[in-house]
């Protein structure tokens, strides 16, 4: 784990940074000395986090799947804290449906937010890193990018795509001082999981405890992953000491998936 303030002078941008895993990552990066831009679809959500640490955190709003909004948000980020050294692609959505009930709208939504959003944000940040000959890109994927899960074909396809993009780009920029990795959480205590639990309760009549047990059953440790645990893995990958770690997909899931 990086020592305190080891990212001093670095500018990190975290998408989906207003709550859950993204907020935990932003706080860890600030603690390590970085200036952090948090990007979210809703400005009020990311601004609430920025208000906690106004000198170190800047909030911008954009839909990561909209190229024009991404460009404008990244320019605003540079105007505040300068060139971007670290990009954490954390923004994402997860919706479930049986395969034959997965329509084109759901399919395209899962790919646009989870995969195209990571592509657009990476294209926006990468020139700064190439010019500096130093950079860290961390894509928050999912164990769904490493394994298959029933009823989330579109989400699995998108997260597998994120991991494929991670590996390809890691090779492309390997000699430029830039690393590209993915962190793949299992079921994590976030708002997305709360929505999934509520969905199970509504569709099956199970209690909250029974629905929660369904999500923890696949974790050999018998528990949910915590956002800070994912943030710890991201922080490690952003450190100078992780310069030889690239093209990797690191599962943070209590042993549910082993690669």
Digit-coded pLDDT (tens) for 110-124: 999 999 999 999 999
Q: What is the pLDDT, as a whole number, of residue 180?
A: 98
> Residue 192: what pLDDT?
75
Question: What pLDDT sits at residue 203?
Answer: 80
Reported as a single tens digit per residue, the pLDDT across 162-177 is 999 999 999 999 999 9
Q: Enumerate residue ranges in the chain where pLDDT < 50.
A: 1-2
Q: What is the pLDDT of residues 200-212, one digit of tens each?
A: 788 888 888 888 8
Q: Which CATH number fits domain 11-188+226-252: 3.40.50.10170, 3.40.1000.10, 3.10.450.200, 3.40.50.720?
A: 3.40.50.720
Q: What is the pLDDT of residue 4?
A: 67
Which of 149, 151, 155, 187 is the catalytic position? Answer: 155
* Whole-number pLDDT of residue 215: 82
CB-based contacts of 253: which residues, under 8 Å, 6+ apart?
143, 184, 185, 186, 187, 219, 225
149 annotated active-site: no
Whole-model pTM?
0.92
Residues of the chain with CATH 3.40.50.720: 11-188+226-252
């Amino acid at each position: 784990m990086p020592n305190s303030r080891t990212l001093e002078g670095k500018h990190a941008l975290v998408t989906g940074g207003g709550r859950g895993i993204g907020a935990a990552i932003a706080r860890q990066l600030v603690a390590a000395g970085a200036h952090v831009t948090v990007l979210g679809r809703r400005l009020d959500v990311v601004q609430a986090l920025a208000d906690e640490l106004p000198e170190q955190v800047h909030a911008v709003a954009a839909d990561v799947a909209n190229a024009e909004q991404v460009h404008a948000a990244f320019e605003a980020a540079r105007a505040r804290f300068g060139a971007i050294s670290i990009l954490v692609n954390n923004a994402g959505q997860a919706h479930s449906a049986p395969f034959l009930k997965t329509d084109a709208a759901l399919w395209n939504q899962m790919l646009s937010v989870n995969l195209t959003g990571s592509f657009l944000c990476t294209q926006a940040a990468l020139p700064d890193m190439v010019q500096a000959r130093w950079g860290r890109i961390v894509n928050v994927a999912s164990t769904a990018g490493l394994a298959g899960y029933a009823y989330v074909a579109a989400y699995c396809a998108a997260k597998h795509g994120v991991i494929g993009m991670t590996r390809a780009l890691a090779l492309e920029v390997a000699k430029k001082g830039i690393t590209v990795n993915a962190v793949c959480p299992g079921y994590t205590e976030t708002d997305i999981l709360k929505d999934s639990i509520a969905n199970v309760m509504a569709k099956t009549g199970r209690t909250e405890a029974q629905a929660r047990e369904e999500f923890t059953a696949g974790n050999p440790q018998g528990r949910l992953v915590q956002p800070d645990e994912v943030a710890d893995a991201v922080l490690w990958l952003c450190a100078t000491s992780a310069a030889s770690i690239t093209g990797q997909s690191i599962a943070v899931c209590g042993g549910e998936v082993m690669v």
